[in-house]
């Protein structure tokens, strides 16, 4: 019996953008544009923490899901400025983005801390969107697959196949984030296929077939269809284009 095709997942990472009022205005506009795609593609929004609760209320009874942009590995405690996975669960999140390149670059995130956060996310009943990707210097040195495979192995350390099958992985070449540069479809497919092959080696073919691997790196309406048409590209983690309802809706429709 053939495995069911993986359902595309398009996630909008708003980063540190949009006040609560701006977030609600964006969601209201977007909701009407993508409501017809209810069963065709999974749509996830990751607004800033302060907007999560109002956005959760605004997307009730819709086909939009909510994600946190990060979380701490402890469930509670004296960690000023941090947010715990159970808090995100209660506010209405389904996913949490982990290991984004900006967290790694600016805030000292490592494969080990990403792994600890992933454990907390699953324990809280949420699903991780685990990001991996190489810098321009690493790509130019021919180390892309080495770096990505190290990050995948480190991020997934200690998890069994049944757990990993529920993960979303996001390949985001750091040199293509916010730069306007995009990996070619061939470059994206090469890395996505390598990640899936690694999952076969780490777990098994069934697990590897279930894991959805997003591409993230200057995804726009004009390149989304070609990227999402690749065999191993199962969605997109969208940055700047997710801040405009029309652009994000166009990317979602390209994945439907």
Active-site positions read 100, 172
Do residues 156 and 167 touch, judged by C-beta distance below 8 A?
Answer: yes
Helix orientation angle between 185-202 and 144-155, rounded to the nearest 10 degrees: 40
d(CA 123, CA 195): 24
How many beta carbons lie within 10 A of that of residue 182, not counting itself? 21
Q: What tokens does 217 get?
A: 């790196």
Residue identified by tokens 């605004």 is 58
- Buried-state track 122-153, b at ≥16 Cβ within 10 A, e below 16: bebebbbbbbbbbbeebbeeeebeebbbebbe
Determine the 3-state secondary structure of 149 from DSSP.
helix
Q: CB within 8 A of 201, min separation 6: which ones?
A: none
């Amino acid at each position: 019996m053939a495995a069911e095709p993986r359902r595309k997942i398009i996630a909008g990472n708003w980063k540190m953008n949009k006040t609560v009022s701006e977030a609600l205005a964006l969601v209201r506009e977007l909701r009407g544009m993508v409501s017809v795609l209810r069963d065709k593609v999974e749509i996830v929004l990751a607004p800033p923490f302060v907007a999560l609760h109002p956005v959760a209320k605004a997307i009730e009874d819709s086909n939009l899901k909510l994600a946190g942009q990060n979380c701490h590995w402890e469930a509670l405690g004296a960690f000023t400025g941090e947010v715990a996975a159970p808090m995100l669960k209660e506010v209405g999140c389904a996913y949490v983005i982990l290991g984004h390149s900006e967290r790694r670059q600016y805030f000292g995130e490592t494969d080990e801390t990403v792994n600890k956060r992933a454990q907390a996310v699953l324990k809280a009943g949420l699903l991780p969107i685990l990001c991996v990707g190489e810098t321009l210097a690493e790509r130019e040195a021919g180390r892309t697959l080495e770096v990505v495979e190290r990050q995948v192995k480190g991020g997934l350390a200690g998890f069994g196949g049944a757990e990993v099958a529920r993960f979303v992985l996001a390949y985001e070449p750091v040199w293509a984030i916010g730069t306007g540069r995009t990996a070619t479809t061939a470059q994206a497919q090469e890395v996505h296929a390598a990640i899936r092959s690694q999952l076969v080696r780490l777990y098994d073919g069934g697990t590897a077939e279930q894991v959805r691997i997003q591409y993230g790196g200057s995804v726009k309406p004009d390149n989304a269809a070609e990227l999402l048409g690749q065999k191993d590209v199962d969605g997109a983690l969208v940055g700047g284009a997710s801040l405009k309802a029309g652009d994000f809706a166009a990317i979602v429709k390209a994945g439907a």
